Amino acid sequence: MSSTPPSRSVPPPLSVPPVSGGLTAAASLRQLLDSLSREQRRNQELLASLAFALRSFTNLNRFLELVPVVAARIVEADGALLVVFHPDGRLWRDHLQATPGERSAELLRRLLAYPDSQLQTQAGEEAAVALLDPLIQSLLGSPAVFATSVVGRGGPRGRLYVFSDRRGYSWSDIHRRHLQLVADLCGVSLENDLLRLDMQRHERLDRQMSIGAEIQAQLLPDRCPVIEGVELAARCRPAFQVGGDYYDFIPVRPDLIGRRRERGQWALVIGDVMGKGVPAGLLMTLLRGMLRAEVLSGLPPDRILRDLNRMAQEDLAHSHRFVTLFYSDFDPRRRRLRYANAAHNPPLLWRRQQGRIERLDASGLLIGLQSEADYGAAEVTLDPGDVLLYYTDGVTEAPGFSGERFDEERLLRAFHEACRSGLGAQGVLDQLFARLDRFVGPDHQLEDDASMVVLKVREEVMLPPLPPS
């Protein structure tokens, strides 16, 4: 078997019948040139037909059926065989093709009988050639068997064989180039099919991601609740369709309605699963259900985080992920905020009377880090005009044009400016996101989910003192 033209003795000159004059010799030469021209046009038409099929067929197997037929005709061989590999090197039995005929059918049957352990190719084209060529030669038993590789971007994708039993069959360099053209078109078809399958797989993933994003968006509050004496505003901007950020407003007494519900105690929560995408979103959805059930117990924030850590320990250990979570409950009648922190970014509290910012923090480990963990607790009383900002690390770690991070110092300055301007909760939130967007730039994507929640205590109406009687 050969993949290149073998060395052959110089063929004898064409025999021309004896002629009686120059006119007959010229006619014979013209006949020979016409024959060569017809053969060239035929080969061009065969290659053009195969190229048209490559553009037109969406069924890979229909195209591959043509490859051995065209290959055999273009080199005037008795038959041809196409052997195709899976991307992982296994023999792709569904796409084995040969020219019609009982001999080719028997060849395919015998080739299909070989187990994968014997036919699986090793890395590289040379290994495929060394494995398959002797096998095909022995199965065919033809004196003249020639082959070339079908190559894709990822390496060898198959072998194309032509064979002939005719005596005097000659293999030329033109034959080799024509056979390689057919093999190259076959390689393009295989690569196109892989790209098509990848595109379909990505489309399915995109649909699943869209469904996941829709479900997660429904789990986040679609609007902030009405709580007496405060304004609320919140927004989550995921880096991907599905993110790991979470915030929630949970009534401690969900059975209350109307004004009693507005005056009742509320849990305000913000958290972040380490990681991005679908796994983080699924874990945060799981924790949301656990946390909502735990809030109904009415326990203080430190006990709730301790119980949540115990319940989520097994699930988080299997996923090798952890969760940061800041949990607080707010009593509107006393304007009292109790809180506990599981290693989340401490919220920022702007004190209107003093014109300064405080951090609300308490000791505590990540959720899921260890089963027995204690969490500190603290509380603070909010005054009229005070503004509280909850946020995730996607805000402070957002990259800018120069590669710098937005960092906490920029957030502090932006938050201070927004609070001093006297904006409401929604205005403060909008101004902070606008400042973040300017820093990141319109053509850049966030690397992590960014979430912020703003709570502002309404300012009381201060009546002027009455003049002395």
Q: Are residues 347 and 406 in the same domain?
A: yes
Residue, of 30 and 86, whose pLDDT is higher: 86
CB-based contacts of 274, cutoff 8 Å, min separation 6: 244, 280, 321, 322, 323, 324
The CATH number of residue 62's host domain is 3.30.450.40
pLDDT at position 63 is: 84
Q: Are residues 271 and 324 in the same domain?
A: yes
Q: Are residues 180 and 38 in the same domain?
A: yes
* CA max distance for the chain: 150
Confirm whether 465 is domain-assigned.
no
Q: Are residues 229 and 312 in the same domain?
A: yes
Domain count, the chain: 2
Confidence of residue 14 (pLDDT cuts 50, 70, 90): very low
Confidence of residue 5 (pLDDT cuts 50, 70, 90): very low
Confidence of residue 307 (pLDDT cuts 50, 70, 90): very high
The CATH number of residue 332's host domain is 3.60.40.10
**What range does the domain containing 277 cover?**
225-457
Last residue of a domain, one of 198, 233, 255: 198
Last residue of a domain, one of 182, 198, 214: 198
Q: Are residues 371 and 411 in the same domain?
A: yes
3-state secondary structure the chain: CECCCCCCCCCCCCCCCCCCCHHHHHHHHHHHHHHHHHHHHHHHHHHHHHHHHHHHCCCHHHHHHHHHHHHHHHCCCCEEEEEEECCCCCECHHHCEECCCHHHHHHHHHHHCCCHHHHCCCCCHHHHHHHHHHHHHHHHCCCEEEEEEEEECCEEEEEEEEEECCCCCCCCHHHHHHHHHHHHHHHHHHHHHHHHHHHHHHHHHHHHHHHHHHHHHHHCCCCCCCCCCEEEEEEEECCCCCCCEEEEEEECCCCCCHHHHHHCCEEEEEEEECCCHHHHHHHHHHHHHHHHHHHCCCCCHHHHHHHHHHHHHHHHHHHCCCEEEEEEEEECCCCEEEEEEECCCCCEEEECCCCEEEECCCCCCCECCCCCCCCCCEEEECCCCCEEEEECHHHHCCECCCCCECHHHHHHHHHHHHHHCCCCHHHHHHHHHHHHHHHHCCCCCCCCCEEEEEEEECCCCCCCCCCCC
Average pLDDT over residues 268-275: 86
Last residue of a domain, one of 158, 179, 198: 198
Q: Are residues 174 and 59 in the same domain?
A: yes
Confirm whether 326 is domain-assigned.
yes
pLDDT at position 102 is: 79
Q: Are residues 136 and 259 in the same domain?
A: no
Average pLDDT over residues 289-307: 92
Confirm whether 327 is domain-assigned.
yes
Gyration radius of the chain's alpha carbons: 38
What burial letters (b/e) apply to 166-177, b meaning 16+ CB within 10 Å? eeebebeeebbe
Q: Are residues 193 and 247 in the same domain?
A: no
Q: Are residues 270 and 154 in the same domain?
A: no
pLDDT digit string, tens, across residues 239-265: 765 557 889 999 999 999 999 999 999
Is pTM beyond 0.75? Reply is: no
Q: Are residues 251 and 383 in the same domain?
A: yes
Q: Are residues 255 and 325 in the same domain?
A: yes
Judge whether residue 20 has pLDDT over 60.
no
pLDDT digit string, tens, across residues 108-128: 887 887 776 665 544 455 666
pLDDT at position 349 is: 97
Q: Are residues 30 and 151 in the same domain?
A: yes
- Beta-strand relationship, 450-457 and 230-237: antiparallel
Confirm whether 209 is domain-assigned.
no
